[in-house]
Amino acid sequence: MIPPHKKLALDLAQRYTLSRATYLIGKHRLEIFSIANSYELLDELSEEAMKDEVLPYWAEIWPCSFVLAEFIMDDLPMPEKHCLELGAGVGLVSVAAAKAGAHILATDYAPEAMEFIRLNSWQNEVFVKAERMDWRDIRRTDNFDFIFAADVLYERRNLLPVVLAVDKLLRPDGAAYIADPRREIAKDFLALASENNFKVEVYSKPLQTSDRLLNIDIYELKKQP
């Protein structure tokens, strides 16, 4: 009998052109499946996605994900923490959190992302719960020690929903960590976070890519008493 993760990998390989790569994150090597060329998905967008103007951003691993994943593994006390990732995509950040000992729920608006999150958690021998969620309409009533998001501040319409989602889902003594490549509109996000009674700290981390050095900011949001 074919193991479930191998069966899922074969199924996805029939539907997509897959990329399979190994990344050194902290002290761990993570093997992650993603879409080799996300532009191929544009012609296959559902009517719902077209109406909602949702592009297949989930299919790529964005630079901020590597920085946030390493920050989680190296700088946060993760064992037994209950965590949630917003806009998880293929799940690299959530897999890293699970490797570090967290109980992690990976969420994304794209239903296709759920299969990749499950595959990547199986591939790395960790458990990551995957759930489709719209951060504009949070129905969950539970709260989390840590909330993570990487590269989600790319459209102005996302800024307030992300702040409000964090406000609803974060425990009073918890912290959210939002990684961003210093986009200009991130300043508006920080202003909205402050207006909604969050204390904000900024951690800057360099990331050397194949062709340039990026400076990534990680915004720590904590609720003010």
Q: Residue 130 is part of which domain span?
A: 4-223
The per-residue pLDDT for range 164-206, each reduced to its tens digit, is: 999 999 999 999 999 999 999 999 999 999 999 999 999 999 9
Spans of the chain, pLDDT less than 70: 42-55
199 closest CA partner among 174, 222, 176? 222
Q: What's the pLDDT score for residue 43?
A: 64
Total domain count for the chain?
A: 1
Q: What's the pLDDT score for residue 50?
A: 45
Give me the percent of the chain exceeding a pLDDT of 70: 93
Tell me phi and psi for residue 53, to 5 degrees.
55, 40
Q: What is the CATH number of the domain that holds 50?
A: 3.40.50.150
